[in-house]
């Protein structure tokens, strides 16, 4: 075999060996990828936790590249390389391997943050800002490892970044203000993703996401409002999900002065209780009540207090309650009066009588 190889140029044997090792490594990577996807993922699906699913999925994506890097490292051993070339090749492969491992860890940690962040909502709310921070920490650590492996000193770089960071901070004051305001809003936990909020400027809706620059609020018409984090942290915000999602629903009603108020109260509470028990979004166990409060021009006014499970449920609850109450009042003979005005018309052909003092003059 060696005599057969000797008939070719000197570079052919190492080239053939390198290609064989390189191709074998890549083929082994494909086989390992198939095993990971079809065997390990099937086993992971039978476990309770989901963390292993994320790890195996990311592992399957990276295995072929790792096999190629391993094959390149083994193939380089068949060549008589100059020390500087061999050193450069080793560092390049090391850097690529660390970058791939960093991306692997970043993907896994980010998905774990989303998965378990809901159980640690007070300590680690799940937002795009949180995910970017976690991803940034992992990538920064990987970059430092790469730089250290390449023989570059990190201390002078950190010093230069500290000096340059001051200039960047002055140039990006608004951007950094929004970034730190977003971190504050996220960590404070007073405004969370999924909450229904209303700003003092009038916008209201569900908090869709808290990003590094702005917070996205999805309004009921399905429009998206972008609020800079700096403005959000200084705004007066009403959060309808804190301290609890349930809220009182107030409905104003008025009845005629000739009505039996005790009878009105009993009938109204019966209708309100039936509405809460049958309409989606009503708190069935809540006992509604009314409070009379005003002798108006044409009616005695009172407020009906119901209870909804969350803010948007009040619309359907009011809709059904008003329909049912109007129908019940009609059957019970209870009148909901409309405003009455008395208009006095004068005949322009008849002069008004003069006063006594005016007649004497």
Region class of 295: left (phi > 0), else alpha (psi between -120 and 50), else beta = beta
Q: Both 39 and 90 in a single domain? A: yes
Question: In the prediction, which pLDDT does 342 show?
Answer: 61
pLDDT reading at 220 higher than 60? yes
Q: Both 195 and 128 in a single domain? A: no
Per the structure, the complete domain to which residue 206 belongs is given by 188-239
Residue 229 lies in a domain: yes
Q: Check whether the bond before 185 is cis (ω within 30° of 0).
A: no
Across 298-327, average pLDDT: 94
Q: Both 22 and 166 in a single domain? A: yes
Residue 158 lies in a domain: yes
The pTM of this model reads 0.62
Q: Both 212 and 301 in a single domain? A: no
Buried b (16+ CB within 10 A) or exposed e, 103-127: bbbbbbebbebeeebeeeeeebbbb
Instruction: List the structure tokens of 89.
Output: 């090749």
Q: Both 71 and 51 in a single domain? A: yes
Q: Work out the pLDDT band at 359, boundaries 50, 70, 90.
A: very low
Task: Express each pLDDT in 11-38 by its tens digit.
Answer: 555 666 677 777 777 787 777 777 766 6
Could you say which of 180, 211, 239 is where a domain stops?
A: 239
Q: Are 259 and 300 in contact (CB under 8 A)?
A: yes
Q: Both 103 and 12 in a single domain? A: yes
CA pair distance 49, 100, nearest whole angstrom: 25
Q: Both 147 and 11 in a single domain? A: yes
Question: In the prediction, which pLDDT does 361 show?
Answer: 45
Q: Both 159 and 78 in a single domain? A: yes
Q: Both 254 and 235 in a single domain? A: no
Please give the tally of structural domains in the chain.
3
Q: Which residues pair with 111 in a beta bridge?
A: none
Q: Both 28 and 96 in a single domain? A: yes
Residue 268 lies in a domain: yes
Nearest to 94 by CA among 51, 14, 148: 148
Residue 37 lies in a domain: yes
CA pair distance 31, 23, nearest whole angstrom: 12
Across 137-166, average pLDDT: 71
Could you say which of 239, 261, 279 is where a domain stops?
A: 239
Q: Are 56 and 41 in contact (CB under 8 A)?
A: yes
- Which CATH number covers residue 223? 2.30.30.60
Q: Both 63 and 192 in a single domain? A: no
Residue 347 lies in a domain: no
Residue 341 lies in a domain: no
Question: In the prediction, which pLDDT does 297 show?
Answer: 84
- Which CATH number covers residue 320? 3.30.70.100
Instruction: List the structure tokens of 157.
Output: 């770089």
Q: Both 104 and 219 in a single domain? A: no
Q: Which residues pair with 193 in a beta bridge?
A: none
Residue 178 lies in a domain: no
pLDDT reading at 46 higher than 80? no
Nearest to 211 by CA among 136, 286, 128: 128
Nearest to 272 by CA among 336, 326, 321, 334: 321
Question: In the prediction, which pLDDT does 168 show?
Answer: 59
Residue 153 lies in a domain: yes
The DSSP line for 226-247 is EEEHHHHHHS-EEETTSS-S-E
């Amino acid at each position: 075999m060696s005599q057969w190889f000797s008939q070719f140029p000197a570079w052919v044997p190492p080239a053939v060996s390198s290609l064989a090792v390189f191709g074998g490594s890549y083929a082994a990577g494909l086989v390992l990828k198939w095993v990971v996807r079809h065997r390990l993922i099937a086993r992971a699906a039978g476990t309770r936790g989901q963390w292993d699913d994320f790890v195996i999925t990311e592992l399957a994506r990276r295995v072929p590249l790792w096999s190629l890097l391993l094959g390149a490292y083994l193939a380089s051993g068949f060549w008589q390389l100059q020390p500087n070339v061999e050193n450069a090749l080793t560092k390049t492969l090391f850097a690529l391997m660390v970058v791939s491992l960093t991306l692997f860890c970043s993907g896994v940690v980010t998905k774990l943050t989303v998965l378990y962040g809901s159980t640690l909502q007070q300590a680690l709310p799940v937002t795009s800002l949180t995910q970017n921070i976690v991803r940034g920490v992992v990538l920064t650590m990987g970059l430092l490892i790469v730089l250290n492996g390449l023989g570059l000193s990190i201390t002078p770089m950190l010093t230069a970044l500290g000096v340059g960071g001051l200039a960047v901070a002055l140039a990006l004051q608004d951007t950094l203000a929004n970034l730190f305001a977003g971190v504050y809003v996220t960590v404070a936990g007073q405004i969370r993703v999924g909450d229904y909020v209303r700003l003092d400027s009038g916008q209201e809706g569900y908090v869709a996401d808290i990003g590094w620059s702005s917070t996205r609020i999805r309004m009921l018409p399905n429009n998206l409002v972008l609020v800079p984090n700096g403005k959000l942290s200084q705004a007066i915000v009403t959060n309808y999900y804190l301290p609890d999602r349930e809220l009182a629903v107030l409905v104003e009603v008025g009845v005629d002065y000739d009505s039996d108020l005790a009878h009105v109260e009993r009938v109204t509470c019966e209708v309100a209780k039936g509405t809460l028990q049958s309409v989606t979004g009503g708190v069935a166990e809540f006992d509604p009540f009314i409070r009379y409060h005003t002798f108006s021009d044409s009616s005695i006014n009172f407020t009906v207090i119901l209870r909804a499970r969350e803010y948007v449920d009040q619309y359907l609850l009011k809709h059904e309650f008003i329909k049912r109450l109007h129908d019940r009042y009609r059957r019970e003979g209870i009148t909901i009066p409309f405003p009455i005005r008395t208009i006095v018309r004068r005949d322009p052909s008849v002069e008004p009588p003069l006063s006594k003092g005016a007649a004497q003059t």
